[in-house]
Amino acid sequence: MPDAKAPLDLLLLPTWIVPVEPAGVVLRDHALGIRDGRIALIATREEALRWPATEVRELPGMLLAPGLINAHGHAAMSLFRGMADDLPLMTWLEQHIWPAEAKWVDEAFVRDGTELAIAEQIKGGITCFSEMYFYPAVASEAVHGSGIKAQITIPVIDFPIPGALDAAEAIRHGLELFSDLKHHPRIKVAFGPHAPYTVSDDKLENIRMLAEELDAGIHMHVQETAFEVQQSLEQRGERPLARLARLGLLGPRFQAVHMTQISDEDLALLVESNTSVIHCPESNLKLASGFCPVERLWLAGVNVAVGTDGAASNNDLDLLGETRTAAMLAKAVAGSATALDAHRALRMATLNGARALGMEQDTGSLEIGKAADMVAFDLSGLAQQPVYDPVSQLIYATGRDCVRHVWVDGKALLDAGRLTRLDEDRLIATAKAWSERIAGH
């Protein structure tokens, strides 16, 4: 009998637990106990009910899984959702998004857009996300108040951006944010150089040096389109990934976002350097950017995570839906129905994301001692019946509307579908006000 003086804070009794690590495991009629925000117990239902617990919660028909990790996005761009659809990437950027950002993006825009995105993500079962946008200090304040976890990246680009006149100022602000947040329990700060075609060698070398000094991640759009690769070959005589390798940026801390164009040489560089790839299938499909060869990467040993990208190019922040698309697309690209099976797809959206962001020691799987970052999916509905394999059902037959509960560090951020810290009605009203302002000009 465990020590009665140390009761569990919360004992959860779902129908299924999918810990993700070990891989491929489904625990039926088991329970998970939380103490001080960490996972303290995973045991059979019968054994767990012998433990003292402050609160015991039955979750019939529910699958308890690690919280989803959205490994790439631009949260505040939620306020541009649907503004410039059905356009190729560079037209979308140069003629629509960049001018709109120059006109509208300020601290208030980032605060409101980030809160809107956080609320959407929590309701979709996301407990941690990677953020790449302007005014990162403002975004970090929104993260702090919401209870979610995040990697906040420092935007670096060769031309002036909202909040910074040049790359040097952006990096200076970023270093201040590193100092301010170095002990924050839920926020990691990383560098976010935009893309190889918008950041010069000297800036990238400076970022590499600072990232090594601070043990910080580097998060960057890389080889998103065939045009980007061709332009680099014509202008520099080398592929973007080869350039980044030459400059010393690749490695376990580097997060290569998109990577729809991968040659044999690129694959060798990714494997050799232990670089993570962040796959954003729906944004890539919508912008016709190309197809990341996920199964090829996976079989070679590359860590592949999944991200939504921003709502301006997706147009939602639905990581469960994104993961379903990733699984389907991987099969088509590989020409194999066995590519990226349901269990591996869930791992890509959880533990692989944590590993890409350098957080795998703390989150991404349900293991004793890890943070209690979890989501309960309700598989009791009509569209989920019958349930032969709950993980297949989750990936192939379940939508984010089945998310019932979300916990981060053991604290409920979504309870029976209701946000506990954010005011949904206020966020909707604020978003409508922004759309009226932007559409009216």
Q: Which tokens is 249 given?
A: 């940026």
Binding residues for Zn(2+): 72, 74, 221, 309
Burial 35-54 (b: 16+ CB within 10 A, else e): bebbbbbbbeeeebeebebe
Binding residues for substrate: 101, 194, 224, 309
Helix axes 136-146, 167-181, angle to 10 degrees: 30
Residue 63 — φ and ψ, nearest 5°? -105, 120
Tally of CA atoms within 13 A in the half-sphere of 404 that contains its CB: 16
Alpha helices in 193-305 (DSSP H): 201-214, 226-236, 240-246, 264-273, 281-286, 294-300
Task: Calculate Rg over the CA atoms of the chain.
Answer: 21
Q: Exposed, middle or buried, 238 (CB in 10 Å: 0-12/13-18/19+)? A: middle
Q: Which tokens is 408 given?
A: 């981060």
Q: Which amino acid is it at 182?
A: K
Four-point Cα dihedral 251, 252, 253, 257, nearest 10: 80
Contacts of 272 (CB under 8 A, 6+ apart): none
Four-point Cα dihedral 360, 364, 366, 370, nearest 10: 40
Q: DSSP 3-state assignment of 412?
A: strand
Beta strands in 45-117, from DSSP E residues, in sequence order = 56-66, 68-70
Binding residues: 72, 74, 101, 194, 221, 224, 309
Is the separation of the CB atoms in 322 and 308 below 8 Å? yes
* CA–CA dist 391, 400 (Å, integer): 14
Nearest to 192 by CA among 59, 307, 343: 307
